[in-house]
Amino acid sequence: MKHLFRTYFFLAFFCIILHTAQAQNHFSQLSNEAEISLITIGPGPELYDSFGHTAIRVKDLRRDIDWVFNYGRFNFNTPNFYIKFARGKLLYTLWVNHFDEFIEDYKQQRRWVKEQTLALNTKEKQLFFDFLKNNAKDENREYLYDFFFDNCATRPVNAIAGIMGKELIFDYNDFPDGRTHRELIRENVPWNSWGALGMDVAIGSVTDRLATKEEYLFLPNYTMQVFENATISKDGIGKSFISKTKMIFVPDTENIYKERFITSPILIIGLLSLLLMYKTYKDYKNKKGINYIDTVILAVTGVIGILLALLWFATEHGSTKWNYNLLWAFPFHVFAAFIITKVNPPRWIYPYIKLTIILLVLLCFHWIVGVQSYSYSLIPLFIALGLRYLYIVTSLRKIRDTE
């Protein structure tokens, strides 16, 4: 009886091992009917959705596979999430979803979805599938995200280019010439929006250099376009790299990020700047001298400057380096803010305020020669600040002359 039981046990164990091996092989080897495609999603209603999204679909109905490999996910439960995000050290994750589950989210957001099926042979499909599965392992799935050079759009491009090698030829002729990274961002975000203003203030002059056309591919729309025009060359014969294109979902109305004019930066900042200019005029007429408004201006611009300096020196964000918005948002203004209204301010405050005027002039010079572009919404503020600083210098000179 023991011998019979042992025999049945080993037979059952062998069957389980065999079934497991077959299941693993089932999900490892694609059939001849498999398709791999690039999925592009249109812009959405939030600022972070404005640039669209890119993912990879692997479909093989014979193997019961319809998966989406998505490089655009991160874990909100990551310890010190906001600190890591601010410092540019947040790891993004390759996430694998069933296609129906993946697509439902974007349908609810009313964002268009386009599929481009890649003209790969059986061996190339398998190589790409193996690459994606290896990337999806726990030890490989995380990567340090970079908005311009390593994101959901650049990862599929680099993976495909690595597998296809010199056979894959990208055609960039339809791309516009002479765009900077900042200009490419502005194509996707309305200029008169708080999102655009925030990005323009936060990112530095490094984004104002001309981007190569290969560098346009951090934006999903350009990735989609370059794949549409790509060709593969085998044995001297070239053919399109996209075998078919399909719109999977087209919403009745697009739900895209936009700003109402009544709450837009140009209106709000413009009104505040006009009030500041009017206040300066009244103070000049009434010979009121330096007052609380100057403390507020210096304190607010100083705090903004400290934040920009931290983005430059205390984070891993490459795009926030060499930010000349510090010329108007000068960190040391926070110290001057509490000294400026004293009856007898220290003598150094006079040349310091003269320096603020020089910094604004330098800012204009940087803009004119193309070192850095600034938000158009800030133009009224620059004018108002310049006039106020001139008024402060005049008031300080009078105080100094009476000493």
Among residues 249, 274, 300, which one ends one of the domains? Answer: 249
User: pLDDT-derived band of residue 76, with 50, 70 and 90 as boundaries?
Assistant: low
Query: Does residue 12 register a pLDDT over 70?
Result: no
Residues 147 and 238: their CA atoms lie apart, in Å, by 33
Rounded average pLDDT over 42-57: 90
Q: What is the pLDDT of residue 79?
A: 64
Residue with tokens 């079934």: 19
Contact 204, 229 (CB under 8 A): no
Which of 88-97, 131-140, 252-261, 322-331 has the weakest average pLDDT? 252-261
Contact 375, 193 (CB under 8 A): no
| C-alpha separations of 237 from 164, 226, 230, 232 in Å | 15, 20, 14, 8
Residues 347 and 137: their CA atoms lie apart, in Å, by 64
Residues 240 and 260: their CA atoms lie apart, in Å, by 43
111 and 131 fall within a common domain: yes
192 and 322 fall within a common domain: no
136 and 273 fall within a common domain: no
Q: What is the pLDDT of residue 27?
A: 53
DSSP 368: H
**What is the overall mean pLDDT for the chain?**
88
Rounded average pLDDT over 52-71: 95
DSSP string, 389-401: HHHHHHHHHHHHH
- Residue 19 domain flag: no
Q: What is the pLDDT of residue 182?
A: 95
CB atoms within 10 A of CB 234: 9
Q: What is the pLDDT of residue 369?
A: 95
What CATH code is carried by the domain that includes residue 122?
3.90.1720
- Residue 2 domain flag: no
Residues 141 and 136: their CA atoms lie apart, in Å, by 5
Query: Does residue 84 register a pLDDT over 70?
Result: no
Backbone CA torsion sign across 392, 398, 400, 403: negative
What residue numbers bound the domain in which 319 lies?
261-402
Rounded average pLDDT over 377-403: 90
Instruction: Classify 370 as helix, strand or coil.
Output: coil
Total structural domains within the chain: 2
Query: Does residue 8 register a pLDDT over 50?
Result: no
Helix (H) or strand (E) holding 198: helix 194-202
Q: What is the pLDDT of residue 5?
A: 42
Closest by Cα among 223, 91, 103, 229 to 155: 223
| C-alpha separations of 238 from 115, 122, 228 in Å | 22, 18, 14
153 and 279 fall within a common domain: no
262-276: pLDDT as tens digits = 999 999 999 999 999
- Residue 25 domain flag: no
Residues 199 and 210: their CA atoms lie apart, in Å, by 18
- Residue 155 domain flag: yes
Backbone CA torsion sign across 5, 11, 13, 19: negative
230: left (phi over 0), alpha (psi -120 to 50) or beta: beta
142-200: pLDDT as tens digits = 898 888 999 999 999 999 999 999 999 999 999 999 999 999 999 998 889 998 999 99
- Residue 381 domain flag: yes
Query: Does residue 230 register a pLDDT over 70?
Result: yes
Q: What is the pLDDT of residue 19?
A: 40
Q: What is the pLDDT of residue 198?
A: 92
Closest by Cα among 78, 88, 86, 73 to 135: 73
Q: How many residues does the chain have?
A: 403
Q: What is the pLDDT of residue 14?
A: 38
Token pair recorded at residue 58: 């692997």
Q: Where are the beta strands (DSSP E) in 181-261?
A: 231-234, 237-240, 242-249
Closest by Cα among 269, 329, 338 to 303: 329
Burial class (CB in 10 A: 0-12, 13-18, 19+), 152: buried
207 and 268 fall within a common domain: no
- Residue 272 domain flag: yes
Query: Does residue 7 register a pLDDT over 50?
Result: no
User: pLDDT-derived band of residue 129, with 50, 70 and 90 as boundaries?
Assistant: very high
